[in-house]
């Protein structure tokens, strides 16, 4: 291959780069530059020199290293250069081929170049701004939601200690109404000594009728009388409980804000309503799938999309032996795979006797009847869902059960 490239090994604070005129033809010795606006100029100068020497526009080849490589990739793409981003798994395989274990950044630039030249890689496509925003928002939402779930568990554990019978009163212990009540009346004694009108005014924020409010007051009083509290270090426990309440209320506000933004950007994609037409795929799931896939046309076949989602089977073969019980590769987008899994479990769930999605439900049952375990059947059905998504998106048609 006669394509000139700048092979870059990226680390947190600085990077090493080696220029190649073609496969096996080194143009310069490895150079080091800091990952700063001032020093990236060194890399851009090297690219200009490489273009002048080769007569061709060089490409930038680097290994995906999470947040370390993203600013560099963006800078080179903005500068008008095609960027090839390699999966670390691919470069690691190349490293393992060497008998001696050598790890130096200059040598790694040669390995990165070797992987590029021996494979047919396509340059990174420019992602539309609205797609990039949607992808980032859904990922950040998932991160905050995970934090919110962890906070809820710690909060509920503390409530069990301070006010043991409280969880019998509210079906959703972490609802805004429940949190407001606990913030004002944190212990059974606080409830028993409470001003009833003040308690009722807090319960009114739930927008329930007066009968519900009166019943809740009675339930709270009964729970307070029956609670056997742990009163050792209670003062500090109550202080921490109130901090958890503030934290939960803040997290709820953040999640609500992110959800609003996600919906705004998701509606800009023609794929969003198409995905929503598939029973079991909710708004957040549809938004996440839309953001992760971006453009369905960059996947010529469903097989390639399946690999991108990491739902393709891993293959193990040695000599005449070929494993038949292969797990999925899990080498694609974790966020896409998780969204598909959530949508699949929702699709095969029954609501009022009937399943959410008859097509996926029948497929799931077929797998179970074949003796597949629950998770294996769900993964197989997630694969079926992904093929369905590919079809409705590629053909720009709403989902229909034939």
Pairing of strands 5-10, 14-22: antiparallel
**pLDDT value for 90:** 65
Can you give the CATH number for the domain in which 22 is found? 3.30.420
Q: Are residues 241 and 187 in the same domain?
A: yes
**pLDDT value for 317:** 41
What's the rounded Cα separation, in Å, for the pair 282 and 163?
36
Angle between helices 70-78 and 40-54 (to 10 degrees): 50
Chain centroid to Cα 400, Å, comes to 28
**Is residue 338 in some structural domain?**
yes
User: What's the domain range around 327?
Assistant: 271-395
Lowest mean pLDDT: which of 88-102, 189-203, 221-235, 354-368? 88-102
pTM score, whole prediction: 0.83
Percent of the chain with pLDDT over 90: 77
Q: Which residue has the higher pLDDT, 312 or 226?
A: 226
**pLDDT value for 101:** 47
Alpha-carbon torsion (289, 294, 268, 133), positive or negative: positive
Place of tokens 């709403």: 398
Give me 181's structure tokens.
Answer: 């009540």
**Is residue 400 in some structural domain?**
no
**pLDDT value for 66:** 81
Task: For residues 362-390, give the mean pLDDT.
Answer: 95
Convert the pLDDT of each residue in 119-136 to its tens digit: 878 887 778 899 999 999
**pLDDT value for 6:** 96
Give me 74's structure tokens.
Answer: 């963006």
DSSP helix/strand/coil, 287 = helix
Q: Are residues 100 and 139 in the same domain?
A: no
Q: What is the DSSP letter of 167?
A: G
What's the rounded Cα separation, in Å, for the pair 368 and 117?
45
Beta strands, E only, 96-255: none
**What's the total number of domains in the chain?**
3
What's the rounded Cα separation, in Å, for the pair 364 and 380?
8
Residue pair 335/142 in contact (Cβ under 8 Å)? The answer is yes
Q: Are residues 137 and 258 in the same domain?
A: yes
Lowest mean pLDDT: which of 180-189, 303-312, 384-393? 303-312
Q: Is pLDDT of 208 > 70?
A: yes
Question: In which region does residue 81 sit, left (phi positive, over 0), alpha (psi from -120 to 50) or beta (all else)?
Answer: beta
Q: Is pLDDT of 91 > 50?
A: yes
Q: Which residues pair with 34 in a beta bridge?
A: 14
Kindly indicate the confidence band of residue 316, based on its pLDDT and cuts at 50, 70 and 90.
very low
**pLDDT value for 100:** 46
How many helices and strands (H and E) does the chain possess? Answer: 16, 10
Give me 107's structure tokens.
Answer: 């040598």
Q: Which residues pair with 18 in a beta bridge?
A: 7
**pLDDT value for 98:** 52
**Is residue 135 in some structural domain?**
yes
Convert the pLDDT of each residue in 164-207 to its tens digit: 999 999 989 999 999 999 999 999 999 999 999 999 999 999 99
Q: Are residues 357 and 387 in the same domain?
A: yes
Residues in the chain: 402
Give me 50's structure tokens.
Answer: 């490489």
Q: Which class for 372: exposed (0-12), middle (13-18), buried (19 or more C-beta within 10 A)? A: middle
Kindly indicate the confidence band of residue 324, based on its pLDDT and cuts at 50, 70 and 90.
very low
Kindly indicate the confidence band of residue 254, based on its pLDDT and cuts at 50, 70 and 90.
very high
Among 208, 239, 265, the domain boundary falls at: 265
**pLDDT value for 291:** 96
Task: For residues 44-54, give the mean pLDDT.
Answer: 96
Task: For residues 36-55, give the mean pLDDT.
Answer: 96
Can you give the CATH number for the domain in which 235 is found? 1.10.287
Q: Are residues 206 and 159 in the same domain?
A: yes
Convert the pLDDT of each residue in 8-22 to its tens digit: 999 888 999 999 999
């Amino acid at each position: 291959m006669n394509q000139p490239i700048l092979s870059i090994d990226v680390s947190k604070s600085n990077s090493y780069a080696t220029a190649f005129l073609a496969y096996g033809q080194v143009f310069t010795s490895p150079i080091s530059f800091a990952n700063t606006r001032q020093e990236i100029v060194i890399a851009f100068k090297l690219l200009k020199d490489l273009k002048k020497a080769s007569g061709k526009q060089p490409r930038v080849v680097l290994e995906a290293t999470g947040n370390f490589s993203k600013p560099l990739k963006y800078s080179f793409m903005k500068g008008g250069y095609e960027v090839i981003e390699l999966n670390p798994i691919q470069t690691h395989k190349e490293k393992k081929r060497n008998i001696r274990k050598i790890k130096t950044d200059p040598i790694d630039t040669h390995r990165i170049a070797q992987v590029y030249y021996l494979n047919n890689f396509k340059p990174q496509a420019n992602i539309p701004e609205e797609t990039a925003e949607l992808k980032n928002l859904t990922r950040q939402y998932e991160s905050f939601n995970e934090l919110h779930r962890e906070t809820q568990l710690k909060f509920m554990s503390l409530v069990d200690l301070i006010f043991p019978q409280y969880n019998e009163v509210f079906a959703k212990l972490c609802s805004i109404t429940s949190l407001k009540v606990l913030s004002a009346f944190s212990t059974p004694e606080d409830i028993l000594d409470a001003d009833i009108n003040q308690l009722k005014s807090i319960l009114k924020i739930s927008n329930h009728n007066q009968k519900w409010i009166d019943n809740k007051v009675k339930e709270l009083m009964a729970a307070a009388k029956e609670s056997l509290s742990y009163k050792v270090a209670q003062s500090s426990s109550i202080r921490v409980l109130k901090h958890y309440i503030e934290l939960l209320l803040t997290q709820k506000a953040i999640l609500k804000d992110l959800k609003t933004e996600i919906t705004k950007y998701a509606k800009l994609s023609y794929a969003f309503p198409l995905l929503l037409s598939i029973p079991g795929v909710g708004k957040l799931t549809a938004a996440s799938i839309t953001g992760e896939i971006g453009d369905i046309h960059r996947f010529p076949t469903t097989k390639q999309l399946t690999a991108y989602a990491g739902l393709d089977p891993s293959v193990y073969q040695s000599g005449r032996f070929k494993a038949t019980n292969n797990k999925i590769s899990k080498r694609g987008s974790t966020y896409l795979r998780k969204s598909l899994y959530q949508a699949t479990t929702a699709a095969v769930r029954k609501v009022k006797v009937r399943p959410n999605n008859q097509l996926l439900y029948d497929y799931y049952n077929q797998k179970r009847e074949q003796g597949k375990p629950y998770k294996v059947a769900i993964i197989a059905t997630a694969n079926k869902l992904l093929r369905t998504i590919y079809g409705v998106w590629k053909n720009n048609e709403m989902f229909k059960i034939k």
